[in-house]
Amino acid sequence: MGGHDPYSASKGCAELITASYRNSFFPPDAYQKTHQTLVSSVRAGNVIAGGDWGEDRLVPDIMRATGKNEKVAIRNPKATRPWQHVLEPLSGYLLLGQRLLEGKKAFSGAWNFGPDDGGHVDVITMVRNLQAWWKSIDFEIIHDNNAPHEANMLKLNCSRARSVLGWKPVWNSAKMLEKTAIWYQEFYESGRVLSREQLTEYIGDAKQKQLGRTAE
């Protein structure tokens, strides 16, 4: 746990601080004996979805540029990240919260919610897949030798969420990128907001895969 740069190191710091408070004041073994609190920390992969307007984030930058008929600058095309639709970790958070509210102390601790292996793709592949759904997307690759350090490969170990919590993603990489690109295209070209429709579709797909926990 740690990181080469302050940004990644800060994530390790947050986990260590949370664990220290849990161990010191809310240990699971003492639950309902000396305290009534279960504490968990959660971490998601690189979330994307329609409606994200964050600054200096890859997908919002792509979509804002496309909405203005401009090219977007891609600075680290080979960087691989654990991309996932935002509804995936949210469903995991809700499921974990439900287990904690049920008083199941085995679910206290640290959790990762990330994609299957197919969701770990590099930036240029993701951009081209988005472009397949919204043809107006255009980009140029810019190399900046003075850019801050950035890891080429990031992955999450989500085995605990899968084996203990019974959580797994509903949408694969292709569906995630399709839904994201279509959301922004509809917003910029017709003013439609597809968030409710996509949430309904996500819940329906979860039920088909017998993952009804997303509708609980």
Helix (H, G, I), strand (E, B) or coil at 80: strand
Per-residue pLDDT tens for 37-92?
999 999 998 999 999 999 989 999 999 999 999 999 998 899 999 999 999 999 99
Which residue ranges make up each domain of the chain?
41-215
Helix (H, G, I), strand (E, B) or coil at 121: strand
Q: 5 pLDDT exceeds 80?
A: no
The encoded tokens of residue 205 equal: 């797909």
Per-residue pLDDT tens for 197-210?
999 999 999 999 87
Q: 214 pLDDT exceeds 50?
A: no
Contacts of 48 by beta carbon, 8 Å cutoff, 6+ apart? 58, 59, 83, 84, 85, 86, 176, 180
Angle between helix 87-101 and helix 195-208 axes, rounded to 10 deg: 60
Q: For the domain 41-215, what is the CATH superfamily, name and number?
A: UDP-galactose 4-epimerase, domain 1 (3.90.25.10)
C-alpha–C-alpha distance, residues 204 and 200, integer Å: 6
Per-residue pLDDT tens for 157-189?
899 999 999 999 999 999 999 999 999 999 999
